[in-house]
Amino acid sequence: MTPETDLPTLDDIRAAAARIAPYVHHTPVMRSGLLDARAGATVWFKCENMQKVGAFKARGASNAVAVLSDDRAAKGVGTHSSGNHGAAVAMAAARRGIPAYVVMPRTAPRVKRAAVAGYGARITDCAPTLAARESTLAGIVAETGAHEIHPYDDRLVIAGQGTVGLEILDQVPDVDAVLVPVGGGGLLGGVACAIKSLRPAVEVIAVEPVGADDACRSFRAGYRIPSVDPKTIADGLLTSVGVRNFALMQRYVDDVVTVDDGAIVEAMRLQWTRMKTVVEPSGAVSFAGLLRHRARFAGKRVVAVISGGNVDLERLPW
Amino acid sequence: MTPETDLPTLDDIRAAAARIAPYVHHTPVMRSGLLDARAGATVWFKCENMQKVGAFKARGASNAVAVLSDDRAAKGVGTHSSGNHGAAVAMAAARRGIPAYVVMPRTAPRVKRAAVAGYGARITDCAPTLAARESTLAGIVAETGAHEIHPYDDRLVIAGQGTVGLEILDQVPDVDAVLVPVGGGGLLGGVACAIKSLRPAVEVIAVEPVGADDACRSFRAGYRIPSVDPKTIADGLLTSVGVRNFALMQRYVDDVVTVDDGAIVEAMRLQWTRMKTVVEPSGAVSFAGLLRHRARFAGKRVVAVISGGNVDLERLPW
């Protein structure tokens, strides 16, 4: 089976939901009359910033760790991550009592680094490039025999993130459109698969920072075009879309829209000041997409996924 | 009737709840396993930061404005306020289509000033002293015939704030103790009256910044001792306890505890980073009290009232 055909299905996502239910939060959806007025739509915010470890990543990592046999798990798990996935793997490993090895770019926000360390994971620093992350992790895996859990290009991880989609359909049964941030595409691929499998008429729109717009360009071209030197304030969305993730995008996603960093900061600010909820830049991208493409969503019932809420309070973008 | 005997009753609070229900939010209570562990108690946060205008003040002002006859209302309403009460009066007046005159100290946070202006109120600046606020407002009232709505020492305002107490008993029926920030004492007096009238065994504890501890000193002395030159990061709690408010404290409040600004900032930070909710310094005082007096609340079921969430994101205390 090639990666392009090794894709999660609705059954995988349902199995993940049952498997991870004891370990993750069923997160709330929030509403705000003020933000509805700004958007010109009826908006539900799916609050994965209130998820364990402060981001949806808890779902995929919990699924991937829970499914391991005791023998396979004993040597531990490893991953490379700019932060939230690393914390999620560290949490899941700590719960299971197995070692976690996390490779982090030296540029990762301090708050995310502290979270990974807080779960007792062993952190290895590397240069902030995908190549450095992958080769550093490969060395650790060769040495320890740890099981690698890819941050997004992994069937079980994508299935775990897809449980967000199941919850959205439960919480907002008459939703018209769902806006999802895209970086590596784990959340997007899983949510799109869940929603389109159950309710094909619901639009699934990916939102991407214009400074890291490989998903948008790839979607238009019909083949993967990885980012070269991406730059955006949304530090969780710097990675390029994975192979499985892109295949899911092609199958299930209706469109990809982009937003600039100014729009992301403005959306984040509105969510902080009006809805009183702490959202990280990557998590505000979905609402930024809604604000920047108002006409498209006018009068609709829209869910915007807040993917995470881990920000360094000493380094806010205003 | 002297002010000391002109006190709201449970019936006033119930009438206020019915009167303001169309205009204010029934705010949620939030939980956090991480913050429970920090506190060593089971904690519900009553989220008045998610109230209209971002603070509980919407309740009292809505009650005081709604009760006016059309004749009395026609000349408008006036108040002096460091911010949240001013915004609340401005909102209630705008909804009723009457003028609002708001006297604000020149030191009021910009975000609070913008909120008042946003509702179309006429703002008059004054020096940041109670005497200046009162005399400036008196001049405006004499000139316009506006009806004055005191920020806290007012039976209808206190009854409105007391509706928070009714909601707490609905949402957490088996609560052991309720922690409430105290500045002028409108929220404290109303909540204490509601809770003790219905459930005398529930402890009601006031929490006050040590740099503005007139409520604590007055409570111990048995008579009102207003603050002289109070200083605290909790800008909503600089005022001294009112006459009616002190009488309610003496009747219904079990104890007053104090916290320093360091504890307030630490509590605020934990609420932002762990619970992902935006709390203003005055709103974090209740949780600060819980953390600083852990032994007293160990293992109990505690409600901490988050009184507001209006902060200037350019002037955060870290």
| Predicted confidence (pLDDT) per residue in B289-318, tens digit | 999 999 999 999 999 999 999 998 888 888
* B-contacting residues in A 147-206 (Cβ below 8 Å): none
User: Tell me, what's the pLDDT at B309?
Assistant: 95
Strand order in the sheet with B29-30: B29-30, B42-47, B301-306, B177-181, B203-209, B255-259
Give ∠ CA B76-B78-B80 in degrees, rounded to 5.
Answer: 165
Please check whether residue B47 is in contact with residue B29, taking contact to mean a CB–CB distance below 8 angstroms: yes
Mean pLDDT across A199-213: 98
Put simply, whether A313 touches B (Cβ < 8 Å) is yes
pLDDT band at A316 (very low <50, low <70, confident <90, very high): confident
- How does pLDDT run across A139-164, given as a tens digit for each residue? 999 999 999 999 999 999 999 999 99
Please say if the pLDDT value at position A102 is more than 90. Answer: yes
Supply B162's token pair: 């007391």
* A-contacting residues in B 92-121 (Cβ below 8 Å): 111
Task: List the single best residue of A276, A314, A315 to mutate versus B (max B Cβ within 10 A).
Answer: A276
Distance separating alpha carbons of residues A234 and A207, to the nearest angstrom = 12
Amino acid at B44: W
pLDDT band at A72 (very low <50, low <70, confident <90, very high): very high
Tell which wins on pLDDT, B188 or B115. Answer: B188
CA-based nearest residue in chain A for residue B112: A273
CB–CB contact A276 B50 (8 Å) = yes
Supply B143's token pair: 């000139």
Please say if the pLDDT value at position A218 is more than 90. Answer: yes
User: Tokens 């600046």 sit at which residue?
Assistant: B125
Of B32, B46, B52, B57, the active-site residue reads B57
Closest alpha carbon to A289 in A212, A178, A175: A178
Beta-carbon-side half-sphere exposure of residue A98 (alpha carbons within 13 Å): 23
Q: Catalytic positions of A, please?
A: 57, 307
B263 vs chain A: nearest CA distance in angstroms?
17
Residues of chain B above pLDDT 90, percent: 88
Residue A229 zone, left/alpha/beta (φ > 0; ψ -120 to 50; rest): left
Strand order in the sheet with B100-105: B122-126, B100-105, B77-80, B147-148
| Contact list, A273 vs chain B (CB under 8 Å) | 111, 278, 310, 313
Widest Cα–Cα separation across chain A: 56
| Contact list, A314 vs chain B (CB under 8 Å) | 318
User: Tell me, what's the pLDDT at A31?
Assistant: 95
Identify whether B307 is a catalytic site residue: yes
CB–CB contact A276 B111 (8 Å) = no
Mean pLDDT across B166-192: 98
Closest alpha carbon to A12 in A247, A197, A254: A197
Please say if the pLDDT value at position B1 is more than 80. Answer: no
Mean pLDDT across B145-155: 96
Supply A97's token pair: 């009592």
B54 vs chain A: nearest CA distance in angstroms?
8
User: Tell me, what's the pLDDT at A38?
Assistant: 96
Supply B188's token pair: 């404290």
Please say if the pLDDT value at position B82 is more than 80. Answer: no
Mean pLDDT across A187-216: 98
CB–CB contact B276 A318 (8 Å) = no
Amino acid at B154: D
User: Tell me, what's the pLDDT at A291?
Assistant: 98
pLDDT band at B170 (very low <50, low <70, confident <90, very high): very high
* Domains, in order of start, for chain B: 10-54+156-315 (3.40.50.1100), 58-148 (3.40.50.1100)
CA-based nearest residue in chain A for residue B55: A276
CA A243 from centroid of its chain's CA atoms:
16
Mean pLDDT across A64-82: 95
Task: List the single best residue of B276, B279, B312 to mutate versus A (max A Cβ within 10 A).
Answer: B276
- Contacting residues for B148 by C-beta, under 8 A, at least 6 apart: B77, B78, B79, B137, B141
User: Tell me, what's the pLDDT at B296?
Assistant: 97
What average pLDDT does chain A have?
Answer: 95
- How does pLDDT run across B45-58, given as a tens digit for each residue? 999 999 999 999 99
pLDDT band at B263 (very low <50, low <70, confident <90, very high): very high
Put simply, whether B54 touches A (Cβ < 8 Å) is yes
User: Tell me, what's the pLDDT at B316?
Assistant: 86
ipTM of the predicted structure?
Answer: 0.90
Count the Cβ atoms, other than its own, within 10 Å of residue B222: 9
pTM of the model: 0.92
Q: Among A278, A310, A318, whose Cβ lies nearest the Cβ of B277?
A: A278
User: Tell me, what's the pLDDT at A230?
Assistant: 94
pLDDT band at B81 (very low <50, low <70, confident <90, very high): confident
Count chain A–chain B contacts defined by CB atoms under 8 A: 43
CB–CB contact A277 B273 (8 Å) = no
CA B16 from centroid of its chain's CA atoms:
16
pLDDT band at B282 (very low <50, low <70, confident <90, very high): very high
Please say if the pLDDT value at position A128 is more than 90. Answer: no
Residues of chain B above pLDDT 70, percent: 100
| Contact list, A310 vs chain B (CB under 8 Å) | 273
Put simply, whether A49 touches B (Cβ < 8 Å) is yes
Residues of chain A above pLDDT 70, percent: 100
Mean pLDDT across B213-221: 98
| Contact list, B275 vs chain A (CB under 8 Å) | 50
